[in-house]
Amino acid sequence: MPASYATILCAACKWTEQADEERMHAWLGQADMRRAGTHMDIDMLWELLPVALARVACPDCGAKALKTARSESEENLWPEAPICVRCRAPIPAERLEALPDVKICAVCQAKQEEHGTVAATEDFCTRCGAPLKWAIKPGTSRYLLVCSQEANCR
């Protein structure tokens, strides 16, 4: 289970902040990734927070160099392995050595190649924060990446 607090830090000036769930919601709002009056569960917050922080400037120095780390956990004592964006499993060190910028694990890569799916560059809608899905453009055979909540998306 994810930690209940995030440590937000600026890589440029070393500014830090301890953020609880309410403050994480505020950061998402500042990045225009959350509707006013809505509440996301902690797992969704942890998914969207790194994306939101990349979009906003540091309150101290103004640089867009904000990152997040989990607090209240001993896992911060060890370097955290990158996590697969599809299945949320840690990506093995051997794979990272061979492909340093890889975002998905070997199992998900194999599934993707087997099914011929294309990896999405953005996993969540920039307007409402809902997951994106592939849809066929009406009248064509083209696929588009659209919001899964398009009826409710602003």
**What is the rounded average pLDDT of the residues 30-45?**
80
128 and 113 in one domain?
no
Q: Give the domain extent around 91.
A: 81-117
Classify residue 46: in a domain, yes or no.
yes
69 and 10 in one domain?
yes
Place of tokens 């440029």: 12
Predicted local confidence at residue 40, as pLDDT: 81
Classify residue 17: in a domain, yes or no.
yes
31 and 91 in one domain?
no
12 and 37 in one domain?
yes
pLDDT tens per residue across span 71-128: 544 444 455 678 888 777 888 888 888 888 888 888 888 887 777 655 444 467 777 7
CA distances from 26 to 16, 22, 150 (A): 16, 6, 23
- Worst-scoring range by mean pLDDT, 2-11, 18-27, 98-107, 110-119? 110-119
Classify residue 44: in a domain, yes or no.
yes
Classify residue 1: in a domain, yes or no.
no
Q: Could you tell me if 6 and 70 are in contact, meaning their C-beta atoms sit under 8 angstroms apart?
A: yes
72 and 31 in one domain?
yes
Classify residue 143: in a domain, yes or no.
yes
Predicted local confidence at residue 154, as pLDDT: 60
Q: How many domains does the chain have?
A: 3
Classify residue 33: in a domain, yes or no.
yes
pLDDT tens per residue across span 40-54: 888 888 888 888 888
